[in-house]
Chain A
Amino acid sequence: MPVSLERARAAKESAKALLGSLPGLAGVGITKLGEDYALKVNLREALPPGMSVPERIDDVPVCVEVVGTIRKRS
């Protein structure tokens, strides 16, 4: 069964609690992987060796991306 938006939203709250103290966390949101909703975890830089983000949270897939430093656009 595809992951619904509601499940992804619930998993996002779990992810925020789980990853809140992750160094360089730059955002947790919702994206799509094919038909499935998924979590998007943004990082300012790659995690130190030995640290990683789970591939699934509450059985919702997780996409991790390094987005660098985000600045106001002016």
Chain B
Amino acid sequence: MKLDSVRELKQSLPVHLSKTFAVRAAAGRTASLAVSRAAALERVTPSYFLGVSARGKKDYRLALRLQDRALEKSELVEQCRAKAKGEIDVRYVGRVRAAAAPWYRSRQRPLLIGSSIGFLANGFVMAGTLGCFVRSGRSSALYILSNNHVLADENRYPKRGHIVQPGTLDRGSPSADRVAELTRFVRLDPAQTNLVDCAIAKLNPAMAADLHKLKGIGTLAGQRRTDLETGAVVHKVGRTTGVRHGRVTAFELDGVTVEYDLGILTFDNQIEIEGSGQRSFSDAGDSGSLIVDDDMMASALLFAGGDHGGSNGKGVTYANPINAVLQALAVTLA
């Protein structure tokens, strides 16, 4: 068929084949299902769509794409086939959905390092990143490690406040997705120099966690004992940008000024990282990500960044040395 003929045919069809027809045809095969299911079927309309399919050079057919299996042997297909005089390409394609959220912005059970997490905010939604799992003292209880501003809302969240995974920005349910309770945090202080932005939240009983897997990177091997130096290759997985690789551009940075809700805070002894290739190392929502070195050793906790600078111009990221974080919270890696 010529392209113009197919186009003409395509234009003529929707007039005769309404969405209602498709829904009825779909529902017809499932008459025994409960009413609620029938209502669900109605929501998926339209159940088919039309297009043009090329068979060869200057040889075209009407394309009919079905979103419901029930339509495959329906009157709809036969009518279209007759109108197209057999010059038709019918295929079942199922439901066409917007791209699904990546795993790190989705619900993860067991809990995974790098996934979305956050506190329950009043009047807004938020999300940061689950850094890793730690233990406190001799107890076997597990805690989530992330930033103060991810788990404790910059000192404002109450002790034992609920932590949800995924965070509410990623549609975490304030009730069904509670996974932990805020235990303690290092206070962020606008009036003094800060060293860390960190907090821990105790996992709810029976909440399973994959303690060492950094999906897309490898298995956490332990804790780096020396500070990262310039040139060290590092990796992280976080809620917004997923897996990113980078390189340390400076260390022992003092007087790093960072904008918070509390105001501008100053941090000493920080690590600066730029992203590899043409990408940034992090973006908003990656706060709390655990940063590992090339040997998969926990090295730093990501907390801040900007959009300028770095040799690729994609901005720089700032992180607290992991030793300072674990020491300040009196915890050890799980």
Contacts and interface: CB of A to CB of B under 8 A. Distances in A.
Interface stretch (B45-53, B70-78, B200-208, B249-257): B249-257
A70 B255 contact: no
Interface residues of A, number: 24
A37 B128 CA distance: 34
Interface stretch (B20-28, B173-181, B281-289): B281-289
Secondary structure at chain A's binding surface: helix, strand, loop or mixed? strand
B249 A40 contact: yes
B308 interface: yes
Interface string B304-316: 1111110000011
A12 to B, nearest CB: 7
B287 A73 contact: yes
Nearest to A30: B252
Contacts of A42: 250, 253, 256, 272, 309
B255 to A, nearest CB: 5
Contacts of A73: 128, 282-287, 302-305, 317
A72 B256 CA distance: 12
Given A26-B256, A29-B272, A67 B306 contact: yes
B84 interface: no
Interface in B46-85: none
The listed residue with most B CB atoms (<10 A of its CB), out of A40, A68, A73, is A73
Interface string A1-17: 00000000100100010
Given A26-B257, A68-B315, A40 B303 contact: no
B128 A74 contact: yes
Interface in B225-280: 229-231, 249-260, 270, 272
Given A30-B251, A40-B249, A65-B309, A72 B287 contact: yes
Contacts of B302: 73
Contact of A70 (B251, B252, B305): B305
Given A66-B309, A67-B309, A74 B127 contact: yes
A74 B287 contact: yes
21 contacts: A25-B257, A29-B253, A30-B250, A30-B251, A30-B252, A31-B250, A40-B250, A42-B256, A67-B316, A70-B256, A70-B258, A70-B304, A70-B306, A71-B304, A71-B305, A72-B147, A72-B197, A73-B128, A74-B126, A74-B127, A74-B149
